[in-house]
Amino acid sequence: MGIDRLDGRIIVLLAREPRIGVLEMSRRLGVARGTVQARLDRLQSNGVIRGFGPQVDPAALGYPVTAFATLQIRQGQGADVRAYLATVPEVLELLTTTGGGDMLCRLVARSNADLQRVIDRVVGFDGIVRASTAIVMENPVPLRVIPLVEQASADSEGTEPTRG
Amino acid sequence: MGIDRLDGRIIVLLAREPRIGVLEMSRRLGVARGTVQARLDRLQSNGVIRGFGPQVDPAALGYPVTAFATLQIRQGQGADVRAYLATVPEVLELLTTTGGGDMLCRLVARSNADLQRVIDRVVGFDGIVRASTAIVMENPVPLRVIPLVEQASADSEGTEPTRG
DNA sequence: TATTCACTGGGCAACCTGTTCACCGGTACG
DNA sequence: CGTACCGGTGAACAGGTTGCCCAGTGAATA
């Protein structure tokens, strides 16, 4: 597991210019097209690259308000809560965290007022004991992976076990 | 602002089969190729679709541990903290939230032990007064937007101002 | 009524993709 | 030491797709 420098360069290049083709990549990276193709296939079957789905901005969709809700779950109701929250479109992400049946829930809403509706819908569910919400104001570092990719690919030098 | 049913179907189709081309999309959706092309251009310049970058899985990169750190910032040090955290590769996301100089910080690490190193590196910065960390165990709902897209495109019916 | 706009259907050249092939060099192993 | 394996290279091929242009239609607008 891990990626080498070429893998890293492929990912970074792809992140910078997503519409680029395999052929153009091979030109920029100075390797054969087949190599890039093989690397890409490997990265995808490895699960390193999950896919190339469109990155949609909820704000542009009319949901400019983001919030995080910390949920306290009633004993044994975890599965029910998960299943319920998965049906709420405004729930963009749900994570279970350490600390006694807690969940962290990423929400969006059309406005601060609308957030109330969303929260009611979320915490109105039976298995949820208590909820505390924090509204997101700024997003100084939007979700990113590139720096991590660069570090991971740099780290792997010399560590890479001959890729066999 | 907002998207109609066709926009929604384009995004969903694109999310389901990212490698699909404009021509094949037009066939599936039963519209002319030019229409799909125009819609896509519009969605991108609107900012609804930010891009098509590769979705990289930190776990497959060797960073299977995710955590959220809530940071309390010393008055007036916000900008410094932001700038510093932006330089740490393991910081995948940084958000400022309501509640007196608080930030929420998404971290990854190579292991639970390695998480200690990352946290030290994060909270070691001068402007950070206090930090509390929650380790992510499960991810029942991975970051998603599709349900929201479907709702937004359904909502817009009748509301859509003739797209002019 | 004239204009504007989105969509349609067609056509064109240029390009890229997917795939296959032979060949090369390094590594692992018998 | 020789062989097999693997990843990379460079080339070739047909087929499909892209980007772009155009004229025409219908509906909503001024």
Give the list of residues 6+ apart from residue A54 with CB closer than 8 angstroms, or none. Answer: B11, B14, B15, B18, B49, B50, B51, B52
Average pLDDT of the segment spanning B126-147: 96
Distance to chain B for A36, nearest Cα, Å: 15
pLDDT reported for residue A156: 76
pLDDT reported for residue A157: 66
Backbone conformation region of residue A100, classed left if phi is above 0, alpha if psi is from -120 to 50, else beta: left
Residue A15 structure tokens: 């992140």
Burial of A145 (0-12, 13-18, 19+ CB in 10 A): buried
Share of chain B above pLDDT 70, in %: 95
Q: Give the tens place of pLDDT for each residue, B73-123.
A: 999 999 999 999 999 999 999 999 998 779 999 999 999 999 999 999 999
Whether residue A134 and residue B99 make contact (CB cut-off 8 A), yes or no, is yes
pLDDT reported for residue A163: 42
Whether residue A108 and residue B148 make contact (CB cut-off 8 A), yes or no, is yes
pLDDT reported for residue B74: 94
Blockwise average pLDDT, block size 10, chain A, 164 residues: 92 96 97 97 95 96 97 94 98 94 95 97 94 96 98 76 40
What are the structural domains of chain B? 5-54 (1.10.10.10), 58-135 (3.30.70.920)
Contacts with A11 from chain B: Cβ below 8 Å: 54, 56
Confidence of residue B15 (pLDDT cuts 50, 70, 90): very high
pLDDT reported for residue B158: 55
- A22 C-beta less than 7 Å away from strand C: yes
Contacts with B97 from chain A: Cβ below 8 Å: 68, 134-137
A26, closest nucleotide (Cα–C1')? D9
More confident residue, B158 or A100: A100
Look at residue B162 and tell me whether its pLDDT is greater than 70. no
Which residue on chain A is closest to B16 by alpha carbon? A53
Residue B39 Cα to chain centre, angstroms: 22
pLDDT reported for residue A164: 34
Look at residue B55 and tell me whether its pLDDT is greater than 80. yes
